[in-house]
Structure 1
Amino acid sequence: MPNKKSAAKRVLVAERNRLYNRFWKTRCKNAVKKVLEAVAQGDKDLAGKRLVEAQSVLDKAVVKGVIHRNTAARRKSGVAAKVHVLLKTAQA
């Protein structure tokens, strides 16, 4: 237990932030998983649509300070590359 009033407040704030961050991190992971599922199914239209949604969710998480911008950029790049490969194979 915290000994000071300010320490007690920090415990409450830290718990609030933990829940908020967990919500956004889970949302990011789910968005990326949905893109990968669409890629695995070979549905290029759905994959493109979900890619846009995933990029939006990752960008929002960056703005809110939940994840670092380079982490979001790395995830967006990796998912976009897989969608790009799907589109290339669909055209060929």
Structure 2
Amino acid sequence: MANTPQARKRARQNQKRYDVNRARRSRIRTFLRKVEEAIASGDQAAAAAALRAAQPEIMRGVTKGVMHKNTAARKISRLAKRVKALG
């Protein structure tokens, strides 16, 4: 348990950051799931649209420090490859 005032403040800040990051990660996963579902349905147009919507959200996660740059690039690349293969 945090005893000093600064440790209490750090605990509050950590909780706030945790909540924000968790929400952002969840939002990214939702966009990724939409792309996955569109790919599974076999509709290339819907999959491409879902991927276009997901890309900025994934990269925003990178700028906010939720996800590593290479991880995001890898996810986008693999999804784009799968969407392209539908055509």
TM-score range, shorter chain: over 0.9
Shift of 1:11: 0.4
Shift of 1:51: 0.4
Alignment of 1:33-72 (within 5 A): 33-72=33-72
The code of the aligned residue for 2:36 comes to: L
For 1:20 and 1:4, locate their aligned partners in 2 and report how far apart those are by CA, in whole Å. 25
Runs (4+) off by over 3 Å = none
Tell me which moved more, 67-76 or 8-17. 67-76
For 1:48 and 1:9, locate their aligned partners in 2 and report how far apart those are by CA, in whole Å. 45
The code of the aligned residue for 1:68 comes to: H
The code of the aligned residue for 1:49 comes to: A
Alignment of 1:1-92 (within 5 A): 1-87=1-87
> Matched residues, percent identical?
38
Gap runs ≥5 in structure 2 = none
For 2:66 and 2:9, locate their aligned partners in 1 and report how far apart those are by CA, in whole Å. 21
Shift of 1:32: 0.8
Gap runs ≥5 in structure 1 = 88-92
